[in-house]
């Protein structure tokens, strides 16, 4: 590998910050049940503590995404506790995720609900989240709407579009000047007939209608089989409408699998679209890279370390693409050479370069091994076992 390639990769890695999800450290499961892990985090303090472990061995995860209902159950009153944890563990509060899907009131939807009082409740909750984000100096508020219906004819789809437009406009008006509203889409689940924000086009139109600080969030697992995700990313880049990612992988649906575990080439192609855009525009795309995975079977902290390392390795490969050469080959429709230029970078083993970068930053060359040797997992397994064994596991 020549010096220029090393420089490019190191610069890319310097810039790649990846946010961890607080819910990824707690016991979660499928809708059929949970397999309880004795080391899972049982409190917001333990989530911060676990996230700090991942950051310590990767150097790439300075923020922790928070779910308001789970992490700040008393809303603004819990801000001071989060601020204490930020200080204690050296990990900042990241994106603020409203919870507009868990309360019984949301059975027929949140801001798309036909009942005005429930729409009000959902909007007010998101307005509270804006205040929480402001107090925690978090920039991004990223709601995911589970709204939809299960039976044809049971809801007025167009009316619900109007409810969404009105609600999001009101929320947008309350955004602080530095804040961004990131709209996430998902085709199905929990709704199985229609989902109000089902794809990037719907999220895009709603964001446009809401205002300039509203952007689209791409959760890599929220797509149908065979969908071309990098093309969606290219469209969003073209319109300056991409705000962030939720990283995970999928085989069938929203499987929450480890990023790149099923299709690493897909992740590489997404990164490539972003890098190519940045090269053409000589600027950095302002994108929040976040993990959205909660592992039912893998050790939670190990899974996060593995995910971050995978993202770094694939991002480094995308950084190696010779954009100037590729651009010329694309212009001349030199198809095989263009494809080989892209593929050639994908097949580079960037792990030695990433290791060198870590060494230069004073980080462990093998983050997973460093974590295992640190003794942290053994300690929290002892400390938390009792609390976790009492957790609810049943489906019905
Ligand atoms: Mn997500």
Cα 161 to averaged position of ligand 1 atoms, centre (Å): 21
Q: How far apart are CA 396 and CA 222, in angstroms?
A: 27
Burial class (CB in 10 A: 0-12, 13-18, 19+), 200: buried
User: pLDDT for 184-201, tens place per residue?
Assistant: 999 999 999 999 999 999
Cα 292 to averaged position of ligand 1 atoms, centre (Å): 5
Give the model's pLDDT for residue 279: 98
Cα 246 to averaged position of ligand 1 atoms, centre (Å): 5
Cα 341 to averaged position of ligand 1 atoms, centre (Å): 32
Give the model's pLDDT for residue 382: 97
Give the model's pLDDT for residue 34: 85
Judged against a pLDDT cut of 80, whether residue 394 lies above it is answered with no
Cα 7 to averaged position of ligand 1 atoms, centre (Å): 33
Cα 322 to averaged position of ligand 1 atoms, centre (Å): 32
Q: How far apart are CA 341 and CA 346, in angstroms?
A: 9
CB 388 within 8 A of CB 42: yes
Give the model's pLDDT for residue 32: 85
Strand 148-149 with 194-195, pairing = antiparallel
User: pLDDT for 38-53, tens place per residue?
Assistant: 999 999 999 999 999 9
Q: Mean of the pLDDT values across residues 311-331? A: 98
Cα 354 to averaged position of ligand 1 atoms, centre (Å): 27
Q: Mean of the pLDDT values across residues 374-386? A: 97
Cα 184 to averaged position of ligand 1 atoms, centre (Å): 7
User: pLDDT for 93-150, tens place per residue?
Assistant: 999 999 999 999 999 999 999 999 999 999 999 999 999 999 999 999 999 999 999 9
On average, the pLDDT of the chain sits at: 96
Going 216 to 221 to 225 to 226, the CA torsion angle's sign is: positive
Judged against a pLDDT cut of 80, whether residue 227 lies above it is answered with yes
Give the model's pLDDT for residue 391: 75
Cα 293 to averaged position of ligand 1 atoms, centre (Å): 8
Q: Give the orientation angle of helix 335-346 with respect to helix 300-319, to 10 degrees.
A: 140
Q: How far apart are CA 232 and CA 144, in angstroms?
A: 18
Judged against a pLDDT cut of 90, whether residue 29 lies above it is answered with no
pTM (2 d.p.): 0.97
Residue with tokens 């150097």: 59
Judged against a pLDDT cut of 90, whether residue 393 lies above it is answered with no
Preceding peptide of 93 cis, ω within 30°: no
Cα 346 to averaged position of ligand 1 atoms, centre (Å): 26
3-state secondary structure of 167: helix
Cα 58 to averaged position of ligand 1 atoms, centre (Å): 22
Q: How far apart are CA 107 and CA 98, in angstroms?
A: 16
Q: Could you tell me how far CA 286 lies from the centroid of its own chain?
A: 14
Give the model's pLDDT for residue 166: 98
User: pLDDT for 322-356, tens place per residue?
Assistant: 999 999 999 999 999 999 999 999 999 999 999 99
The more confident residue out of 329 and 392 is 329
Cα 378 to averaged position of ligand 1 atoms, centre (Å): 30
Q: How far apart are CA 362 and CA 371, in angstroms?
A: 15
Give the model's pLDDT for residue 203: 98
Tokens of 205: 């139109």
Cα 339 to averaged position of ligand 1 atoms, centre (Å): 31
Cα 217 to averaged position of ligand 1 atoms, centre (Å): 8
Cα 34 to averaged position of ligand 1 atoms, centre (Å): 19
Q: Mean of the pLDDT values across residues 279-304? A: 96
E runs forming strands in the chain: 18-21, 63-67, 92-97, 140-141, 148-149, 180-184, 194-195, 214-219, 242-247, 288-291
């Amino acid at each position: 590998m020549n010096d220029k390639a090393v420089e490019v990769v190191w610069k890319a890695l310097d810039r790649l910050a990846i946010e961890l999800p607080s819910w990824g450290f707690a016991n979660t499961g499928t809708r059929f049940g949970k397999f309880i892990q004795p080391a899972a985090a049982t409190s917001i303090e333990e989530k911060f503590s676990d996230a700090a472990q991942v950051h310590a061995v990767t150097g790439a995860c300075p923020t922790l995404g928070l779910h308001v209902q789970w992490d700040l159950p008393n809303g603004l009153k819990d801000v001071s506790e989060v601020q204490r944890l930020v200080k204690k563990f050296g990990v900042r509060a990241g994106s603020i995720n409203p919870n507009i899907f868990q309360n019984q009131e949301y059975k027929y939807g949140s801001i798309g609900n036909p009942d005005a009082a429930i729409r009000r409740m959902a909007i007010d909750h998101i307005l509270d989240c804006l205040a929480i984000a402001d107090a925690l100096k978090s920039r991004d508020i990223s709601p995911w709407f589970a709204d939809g219906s299960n039976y044809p004819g049971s809801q007025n789809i167009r009316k619900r579009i109007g409810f969404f437009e009105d609600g999001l406009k009101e929320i947008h008006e309350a955004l602080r000047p530095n804040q961004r509203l990131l709209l996430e889409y998902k085709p199905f689940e929990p709704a199985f007939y229609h989902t109000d924000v089902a794809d990037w086009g719907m999220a895009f139109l709603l964001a446009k209608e809401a205002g300039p600080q509203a952007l689209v969030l791409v959760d890599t697992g929220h797509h149908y089989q065979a969908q071309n995700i990098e093309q969606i990313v290219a469209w969003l880049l073209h319109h300056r409408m991409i705000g962030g990612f939720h990283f995970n992988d999928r085989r069938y649906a929203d499987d929450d699998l480890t990023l790149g575990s099923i299709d690493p080439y897909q992740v590489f192609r997404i990164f490539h679209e972003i890098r190519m855009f940045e090269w053409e525009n000589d600027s950095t795309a302002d994108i929040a890279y976040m993990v959205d995975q909660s592992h039912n079977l893998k050790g939670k902290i190990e899974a996060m370390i593995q995910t971050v390392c995978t993202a770094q390795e694939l991002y480094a490969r995308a950084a190696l693409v010779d954009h100037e050469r590729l651009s010329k080959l694309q212009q001349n429709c030199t198809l095989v050479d263009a494809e080989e230029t892209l593929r050639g970078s994908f097949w580079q083993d960037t792990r030695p370069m990433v290791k060198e970068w870590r060494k230069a930053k004073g980080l462990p060359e093998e983050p997973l091994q460093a974590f295992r040797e640190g003794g942290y997992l053994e300690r929290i397994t002892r400390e938390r076992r009792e609390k976790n064994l009492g957790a609810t596991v049943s489906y019905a």
